[in-house]
Amino acid sequence: MINYERVLKTYIDKTAEIDLNVSIGNFTSITKNVKIGSGTVIGNCVSINEGTIIGEKVRIDDNSVVGKRPIRAKWSVVQNLDIEKSLIIGNECLIGSHAVIYCGSKIGNYVLVADSASIREKVVIGDFTIIGRNVTIEQKTIIGRKCKFETGCYITAYSLIEDFCFIAPMVITTNDNYLGRTEERKKHFKGITIRRGGRIGAGAVILPGIEINEDGVVGAGSVVTSNVPSKKIVVGVPAKVFSDVPVEQLLENQGWE
Q: Is residue 143 part of a domain?
A: no
107 Cβ contact partners less than 8 Å away, ≥ 6 residues apart = 87, 88, 89, 90, 93, 101, 113, 119, 125
Domain count of the chain? 2
CATH of the domain at 169: 2.160.10.10
Give me the pLDDT at residue 255, please: 86
Give me the pLDDT at residue 186, please: 79
| Residue of 132, 129, 165, 130 whose CA lies nearest to 151 | 132
Give me the pLDDT at residue 199, please: 98
Kindly state whether residues 97 and 25 are assigned to the same domain.
Answer: yes
CA distances from 33 to 13, 42, 43, 50 (A): 8, 17, 19, 6
Kindly state whether residues 102 and 45 are assigned to the same domain.
Answer: yes
Give me the pLDDT at residue 183, please: 82
Q: Is residue 147 part of a domain?
A: no
Between CA 192 and CA 200 the distance in angstroms is 12
Between CA 85 and CA 57 the distance in angstroms is 22
Q: Is residue 61 part of a domain?
A: yes
Kindly state whether residues 116 and 193 are assigned to the same domain.
Answer: no
Q: Which domain holds residue 28?
A: 1-71+85-127
Between CA 136 and CA 118 the distance in angstroms is 5
Kindly state whether residues 196 and 99 are assigned to the same domain.
Answer: no
Give me the pLDDT at residue 231, please: 98
Kindly state whether residues 116 and 159 are assigned to the same domain.
Answer: no
Give me the pLDDT at residue 71, please: 82
Q: Is residue 247 part of a domain?
A: no
Kindly state whether residues 117 and 30 are assigned to the same domain.
Answer: yes
Give me the pLDDT at residue 211, please: 98
Give 131: exposed, middle or buried? Use CB within 10 Å, 0-12, 13-18, 19+.
Answer: buried
Give me the pLDDT at residue 188, please: 81
Between CA 126 and CA 50 the distance in angstroms is 23
pLDDT in tens, the chain (257 residues): 555 555 557 899 999 999 999 999 999 999 999 999 999 999 999 999 999 999 999 999 999 999 999 887 766 666 555 667 789 999 999 999 999 999 999 999 999 999 999 999 999 999 999 999 999 999 999 999 999 999 999 999 999 999 999 999 999 999 998 888 888 887 888 999 999 999 999 999 999 999 999 999 999 999 999 999 999 999 999 999 999 999 999 999 998 76
Kindly state whether residues 58 and 95 are assigned to the same domain.
Answer: yes
